[in-house]
Structure 1
C-alpha cells in the first residue's frame, strides 16, 4: 500500500514538472536580467488567479541559490490585495529558461520561459506543465501590439487556446 501511494505521488508530482511537447525553454537564459518586477499582461484562467487584476510577479535571489517569487494581485470582489510567496529552482542548466516553482511546500510545478526579449528582457512568454497554463509577462503594464500578436501566434502554434486569454487590467 505504501509503495503504491508513493508511486501515485511521484506520478502526480512529475506530471507537474513536464511541459507541452510543442514548448521548448529558451537557451542562453540570464537569471540576473530576469530578476525584478514583471507585470502580467495576459494569461489563461486558473483558480489561483481568478478574478485578480493588477497582477505582478517579483523575482529575487534566495540565499540558497534559488529564486524568491512574490505574486501579487488585487481582488475587487474582496476589496483586497492577494499575495503568494514561493520559490523556484532551475530544473536543468541555469542557462535554460526551465524552472520548477513551489508555493505549497514540497509540490512544484513547471515554469517554462519559451520566448524572451533577449536584448532588454522586456517581455517573456511563460508556460506551465501543459497547455492550460500560459502567461505574457512584461516589464511594463502593457506591451506593443506587435508583441501581443507574436505572443498569440506563437502560443496558438504551440497548442494553447488563445481565444480564452484574459487580458489583465493594470493601472
Structure 2
C-alpha cells in the first residue's frame, strides 16, 4: 500500500508541470475559501495520468494547513479495492480572489519550490458552494466536483455545457462512480 501511494504521489509530480498560462480562461470573480474547504466528490474528470488507477470513490478534502495554505487530500479506490491517497498543498496565486491556485504534490520539504505545481482554477461555483467546475488554462484537465456524491444530473449537464463554452472538450470525460449513498 505504501509503495502504491508513493507511485500515485510521484506520478502526480510528473503529470502536472507548471506551464506558461493562457490568460484567456476566465475564473469565478471570488472564492470564499472558508466555504470552499471540506469534502468534495468527483463527479467527472478528463483523463489524467495520475488518476489512471482510480476506479471509484474519488474525493478531495481541502483544509487550511499550519502555513495558511490549502492542504489537498485526494483519495480514490483502485480496481483491486485498495485506497490510494495523495496529500498536496495549494498556494493561492490571486489573493484575495482565491480562484487561481497552484497545487504541489512534491514531498513536503520541497513544496516551497515554484516548480512541479499544477494549475487549479475555479471556473464556476454555485452560490451555496455545492458544485464546482475546476480546470486549467491549457484546457487539458477538468473536474466537476460536488458536495453530494450523487448530484442532480441537470446541474451536472449545466456545468458540462459551461465547460464547453470555455473551450473544453468533454468527449473523453470520465464519470466517477461513487458508492456512498
Question: Does the aligned pair in 2 maintain the 1:124–1:136 contact within 8 Å?
Answer: yes
**Runs in 1 of length 4+ with deviation above 6 angstroms?**
none
Of residues 159, 168, 172, the one that matches 1:164 is 172
Task: Measure the CA separation in 2 of the matches of 1:57 and 1:161.
Answer: 23
The yes-or-no answer on 1:15 pairing with 2:23 is no
- The TM-score normalised by the length of structure 2 is 0.80
1:43-65 deviations in Å (ceiling 9; x for gaps): 00111111411100000011111
User: Where does residue 9 of structure 2 map in the other structure?
Assistant: none
In the alignment, the residues of structure 2 paired with residue 167 and residue 133 of structure 1 have an alpha-carbon distance, to the nearest angstrom, of 14
Match of 2:61 in 1: 58
The aligned runs of 1:130-141 (5 Å cut-off) are: 130-141=138-149
Question: What residue number does 1:85 align with?
Answer: 87
Q: Note the residue ranges of structure 1 that are not aligned, 5 or more in a row.
A: 1-11
Q: Which of 30, 42, 62 is 1:28 aligned to?
A: 30
RMSD of aligned residue pairs (Cα, Å): 1.8
Which range moves more in the overlay, 138-147 or 53-62? 138-147
TM-score by length of 1: 0.85
Deviation readout 1:19-59 (Å, 9 max, x if unpaired): 562x2111221000000000000000111111411100000
Choose from 150, 164, 174 the match for 1:142: 150
Which has the larger strand fraction? 1
Match of 1:75 among 75, 78, 93: 78
Cα shift readout 1:90-109 (whole Å, capped 9, x = no counterpart): 10123231111101243111
Q: Is the CA contact 1:20–1:130 (under 8 Å) kept in the aligned structure 2?
A: no
Q: Distance in 2 between matches of 1:31 and 1:72?
A: 21
Give the match's secondary structure for 2:73.
Answer: strand
